[in-house]
Amino acid sequence: MKFTAATVSAIALTSVGAFAPSTVYPRSETTLFSTEEKATTKKDDRLRFMKSKRFHRQGFKEVRADVENAIKDQFQSTLVDDLKTNNFVVEKDGVKVFLAKDFGFCWGVERSIALAYEAVQHYPGKKLHITNELIHNPEVNDRLTDLKVNLIEKVGDGKKKFEVVEDGDVVILPAFGASYEEMEFLDKKVGTWQHVGNGSVVPHSSVWNTVDRHQKKGLTSIIHGKYGHEETIATTSFCEDFICVKDMKEAEMVADYIANGGDKDQFLKHFEKAVSKGFDPDKMLDKVGLANQTTMYKKETKAIGQLFQKTMMKKFGPSKIDEHYFEFDTICDATQERQDAVTELTANAEEYGLDFILVVGGWDSSNTAHLLEIPHNSGVRSFHINRAECISADNTITHRTVDGDIVTEPFLLDMDKEVVMGVTSGASTPDAAVQDALSQIFLLRKMHGVEKVEA
């Protein structure tokens, strides 16, 4: 066997037993694969990976019709269709339901699922892997497991068990995209790989292009997002210097340090998992650019942007703001539309007489969690469930709170009156999951009526 440089590199990575996708190159190493004529950036390499003949972004037309029918059968809902054609309201079995006017699957998520399904059908004799959950929805991910797609195991500290991937295997990248290091590794290692990600969910590429602009302008990227989220891991892998802030409180900590300085060790301890290697807040916060995880709460991102803009104006003066601050909105349109719709539903809660608002979607789905925050922060009783089974026959509901705790509590508080509720779902939630949840409530209310008559 002739050992090329790529072969040796792949063997070396495999032999260590795990690969760390969240590794971030220090500034001096960000320019990779240098030549005497022109050095290439991480963005250049990402584009090169994506132009490879082994990198499939368009799916496989010969199986598309079968896949479209399978997705329709598995994930669409006659009940939700009825709601949409009846002014988003339905009454059944003593329950009146108001559906948010924008909800559920976005186009990018649907396309990601379709590409994954097409890959399974196109490569019937191949071993298929996926680097992370395709989307943050348990039903969809369970379906892929049933189709024998292997979820590459995480082994701690951001590492994954990539030694299970053999030459010639097919590797699916999820809707969140993949880190630079994962793409580079797979480009060297795998004979065939199917990509599902930044070609499917377009805003992710927009974020990566934004942080690339930051690097070219010599800015530190401030990412409004959760540092451990798959999308943010992918984004920061294309950064040189970065810091992640998960909310306004952390943004205020960074703004205060920019304006007033502070205890450097304490600052770095708080953000130790959310900054680039060798991060120095005394040197790297004079020029910053803001980007965000595309599923964050848009109003909070805007407020954070205004905070940093005011901070830089105060420190350096209005005339020099463009030298020290850069901002580009990368919130996904679907995320914003669903937030606006549940905001409208919440605003009308009193008029409609809503007893509660039900949010359906994966518990690890960031965009779904933000939908819950809107009614919760307005004082409207609300629940975030990930499956219909969270609603039990004993009239309890197991749900995720805004603080991330999973709790169980009494559900329908007055079973003798009509239940009036609102419902919405995250961008990674199929309509069938909403129907299953509503069916549980209809059945619960109906069974109470039967019991009351028998008594």
**What residues are labeled active site?**
231
Residue with tokens 């499956």: 387
- At residue 419, φ and ψ (nearest 5 deg) are -85, 130
Q: DSSP string spanning 115-153?
A: HHHHHHHH-TTS-EEESS-SSS-HHHHHHHHHTT-EEPP
CA distances in angstroms from 204 to 44, 355, 454, listed in the order given? 16, 37, 56
Rounded to whole angstroms, how far apart are CA atoms 434 and 100?
Answer: 12
Largest CA distance in the chain: 88
* The two three-digit tokens of residue 424, written as one number: 């919405």
CA-CA distance, 444 to 423, in Å (whole number)? Answer: 17
Q: Helices 64-75 and 107-122 meet at what angle, rounded to 10?
A: 120
Check: CB of residue 30 under 8 Å from CB of residue 41: yes
Task: Copy the structure tokens of residue 302.
Answer: 């805007």
Place of tokens 């071993």: 127
Contact status, residue 428 vs residue 367, Cβ threshold 8 Å: yes
CA–CA distances in Å: residue 174 to residues 108, 231, 349: 11, 10, 36
Residue 275 phi, psi (nearest 5): -130, 160
- For the four alpha carbons of 431, 432, 433 and 436, in that order, the dihedral sign comes to positive
136 and 362 in contact (C-beta within 8 Å)?
A: yes
How many residues make up the chain in this entry? 455
- DSSP label of 320: G
Nearest by Cα to 380 from 390, 371, 368, 367: 371
- As to burial, measured by CB atoms within 10 angstroms (0-12 exposed, 13-18 middle, 19+ buried), residue 262 is middle
- Whether the CB-CB separation of 33 and 40 falls below 8 Å is answered with yes
Question: Rounded to a whole number, what is the distance in angstroms from the first to the last CA of the chain?
Answer: 81
What does the alpha-carbon distance between residue 302 and residue 307 come to, in Å, rounded to a whole number? 9
Question: At 250, is the secondary structure helix, strand, or coil?
Answer: helix
d(CA 126, CA 171): 10
